[in-house]
């Protein structure tokens, strides 16, 4: 059912001219095809794909103006061509908003009689008007609308509750917050590059998920930072779908779930997000703050210890050392501020420069470690928590 909803969004975006019945049929058939391909033999899968592409091509005039080239290809090539097809242009007479869903006085009656179909119709209408949104955002809009109706239809005057722009403002606010977050992240990426962008993400996620190892955090945040490389250079209407789709795909990977298996038993915040719906998972994790139940690691002599091999470290290795230091500092003091982190990283770089020029680098690192550790960290101990 969740997969069918996702496909309904994508079909409605790709083919905005089709009616609701056709959009629902295509979404259901695509979802069934994927079930066949994942659980049946290859011949059943191929048969489903061919049947679906034949249906689309036999109705191409009413589905999309852009299908002709795909439908001239062989049956084997058609499906991939249709999948990769650009979204069709919206109908010229398509209204910019879905007023009937927030102004009709009989909304609650429709919702009560045919809840699933009514919500699906809303998602279809909203999606065909917004090809620039990710399918996840549109699923969240659908969930937001459902929540609005569940609340308002209990009131003595439901139209007053969901009408007068209130319902629309709730949906707009949700969309605006997501778009602003994506714009902020892309602005940082463009200004500072992938490495510094990863460091910002690294700080956020180490505070949210301090139970992960340094290796896991570095891998995890590297993948998230790469989304910036892939998406932030695209045109404005394509950035959000690209970024959210790629982030959500990574969050669904088996390796990420391995991280989650560790976290679920010891981090209730992550557990709550992962029990949420697919569409709400990413915003939930993004909104997480510091894990208040995490017990910080103790300050031990080797926590901030460095040796002369640091002098032989090339730039890539030095960057990784700085990231590992960031992780250690946050695990030691989860409430550390960005300014404190910057101070300590600067101290670290100054120590490296001084000791690598010294006649006895190893001895220098032994002497200077207290300058990095107690001096820089001592200021943090008083407010540790």
pLDDT in tens, 76-119: 889 889 999 999 999 988 988 888 898 889 999 999 999 999 99
Nearest to 141, CA basis, from 101, 91, 93, 105: 101
Tokens of 228: 């910036």
Tokens of 272: 């709550």
- pLDDT over 70 percentage in the chain: 89
* Euclidean distance between CA atoms 132 and 241, whole angstroms: 7
Q: Is residue 51 part of a domain?
A: yes
In which region does residue 213 sit, left (phi positive, over 0), alpha (psi from -120 to 50) or beta (all else)? beta
Long-range CB pairs of 172-180, under 8 A, 24+ apart, other chains included:
174/140, 174/141, 174/144, 175/133, 175/137, 175/141, 178/137, 178/140, 178/240, 178/244, 178/283, 179/240
- Domain count across the chain: 4
Residue 358 lies in a domain: yes
Asked if 282 and 136 count as a contact pair (C-beta separation under 8 A), the reply is yes
171 lies in some domain: yes
Query: Which CATH number belongs to the domain containing residue 122 in this structure?
Result: 1.10.246.10
Q: Is the pLDDT of residue 291 over 90?
A: no
Taking alpha carbons only, the member of 80, 66, 68 closest to residue 15 is: 66
| DSSP assigned state of 86 | P
User: What predicted TM-score, i.e. pTM, was given to this entire model?
Assistant: 0.78
If asked whether residues 59 and 143 sit together in one domain, one would say: no
Q: Are residues 14 and 69 in the same domain?
A: yes
Of 347, 261, 259, nearest to 304 by C-alpha is: 347
C-alpha 37: how far from chain center: 26
First to last CA, the chain: 44
**Are 7 and 80 in a shared domain?**
yes
Task: Tell me if 101 sits within 8 A of 79, measured CB to CB.
Answer: no
245 membership: H or E segment, kind and range: helix 236-251
Asked if the structure places residue 230 within a domain, the reply is yes
For residues 230 and 276, state if they share a domain: yes
Residue 273's contacts (CB-CB under 8 Å, 6 or more residues apart) are: 280, 281, 284, 285, 288
What pLDDT digit, counting tens, does each position of 300-351 carry? 767 778 888 888 878 888 899 899 989 998 998 899 888 888 888 888 888 8
61 has pLDDT over 80: yes
Which residue, of 84, 112, 132, is where some domain finishes?
84
Torsion of CA 155, 159, 161, 166, to 10 degrees: 170
Q: Which residue has the higher pLDDT, 26 or 265?
A: 26
> Of 55-69, 155-169, 226-240, 307-321, where does mean pLDDT reach its minimum?
155-169
Residues 6+ apart with CB under 8 A from 190: 232
Lowest-pLDDT choice from 71-85, 228-242, 289-303: 289-303
Q: What integer best gives the mean pLDDT of the chain?
A: 85
Would you say residue 112 lies in a domain?
yes
pLDDT for 121? 96
Q: Are residues 248 and 204 in the same domain?
A: yes
The residue assigned the tokens 């919702």 is 111
Asked if the structure places residue 210 within a domain, the reply is: yes
Is there a single domain that holds both residue 209 and residue 164? no
- Residue 249, CA atoms < 13 Å, CB-side half-sphere: 11
Q: Is the pLDDT of residue 165 over 70?
A: no
Q: Give me the mean pLDDT over the 355-361 stretch.
A: 92
Residues above pLDDT 90, as percent of the chain: 40
Reduced to 3 states (helix: H, G, I; strand: E, B; else coil), residue 266 is coil
Verify that 154 and 107 share a domain, yes or no. Answer: yes
The span from the CA of 217 to the CA of 203, in Å, is: 10
Query: In terms of domains, do 60 and 14 share one?
Result: yes
Q: Which two tokens stand for residue 113?
A: 């009689």
Q: Could you list the residue range(s) of the whole structural domain that residue 214 is in?
A: 190-286
Q: Dihedral through CA 159, CA 160, CA 162, CA 164, nearest 10?
A: 110
Whether 194 and 272 share a structural domain: yes
Domain termination residue (choose one: 122, 154, 176): 176
Q: Are residues 131 and 205 in the same domain?
A: no
CB atoms within 10 A of CB 116: 9
Pairwise CA distance, residues 361 & 355, whole Å:
5
Do 351 and 322 belong together in one domain? yes
The owner of tokens 């917004």 is 130
Q: Is 120 within a domain?
A: yes
383, pLDDT greater than 60: no
Check whether residue 317 and residue 265 sit in a common domain.
no
CA nearest 279: which of 251, 317, 307? 251
Final residue of a structural domain among 145, 176, 207: 176
Is residue 300 assigned to a domain? no
- How far does CA 292 lie from the centroid of its chain? 23
* 16: confidence class by pLDDT, cuts 50, 70, 90: very high
Q: Report the pLDDT value the prediction gives residue 170, as an integer from 0 to 100.
A: 67
Model pLDDT, residue 369? 64
Q: What is the pLDDT of residue 375?
A: 55
């Amino acid at each position: 059912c969740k997969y069918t909803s996702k496909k309904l969004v994508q079909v409605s975006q790709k083919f905005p001219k089709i009616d609701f019945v056709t959009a629902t049929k295509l979404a259901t058939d695509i979802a069934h095809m994927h079930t066949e391909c994942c659980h049946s033999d290859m011949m059943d899968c191929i048969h489903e794909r061919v049947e679906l592409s034949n249906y689309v091509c036999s109705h191409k005039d009413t589905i999309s103006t852009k299908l002709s080239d795909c439908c001239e290809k062989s049956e084997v090539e058609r499906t991939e061509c249709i999948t990769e097809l650009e979204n069709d242009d919206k109908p010229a007479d398509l209204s910019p908003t879905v007023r009937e869903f927030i102004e009709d006085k009989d909304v609650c009656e429709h919702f009560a009689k045919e809840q699933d179909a009514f919500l699906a119709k809303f998602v279809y209408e909203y999606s065909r008007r917004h090809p620039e949104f990710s399918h996840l955002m549109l699923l969240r809009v659908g969930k937001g609308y459902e929540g609005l109706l569940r609340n308002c239809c209990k009131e003595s005057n439901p139209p007053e509750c969901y009408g007068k722009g209130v319902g629309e403002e709730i949906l707009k606010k949700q969309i605006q917050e997501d778009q602003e977050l994506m714009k902020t992240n892309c602005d940082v990426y463009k200004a500072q590059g992938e490495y510094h962008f990863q460091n910002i993400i690294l700080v956020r996620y180490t505070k949210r998920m301090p139970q992960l190892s340094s290796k896991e955090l570095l891998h995890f945040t590297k993948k998230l930072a790469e989304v910036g490389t892939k998406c932030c250079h695209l045109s404005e209407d394509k950035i959000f779908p690209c970024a959210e789709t790629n982030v959500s795909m990574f969050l669904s990977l088996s390796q990420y779930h391995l991280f989650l298996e560790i976290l679920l038993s010891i981090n209730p915040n992550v557990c709550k997000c992962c029990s949420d719906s697919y569409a709400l998972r990413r915003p939930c994790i993004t909104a997480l703050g510091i894990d208040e139940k995490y017990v910080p690691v103790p300050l031990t002599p080797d926590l901030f210890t460095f040796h002369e091999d640091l002098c032989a470290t090339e730039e890539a290795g030095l960057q990784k050392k700085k990231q590992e230091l960031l992780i250690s500092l946050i695990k030691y003091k989860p409430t550390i501020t960005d300014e404190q982190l910057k101070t300590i990283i600067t101290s670290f770089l100054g120590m490296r420069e001084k000791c690598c020029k010294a006649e006895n680098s190893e001895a220098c690192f032994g002497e200077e470690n207290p300058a990095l550790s107690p001096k820089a960290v001592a200021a943090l101990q008083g407010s540790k928590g």
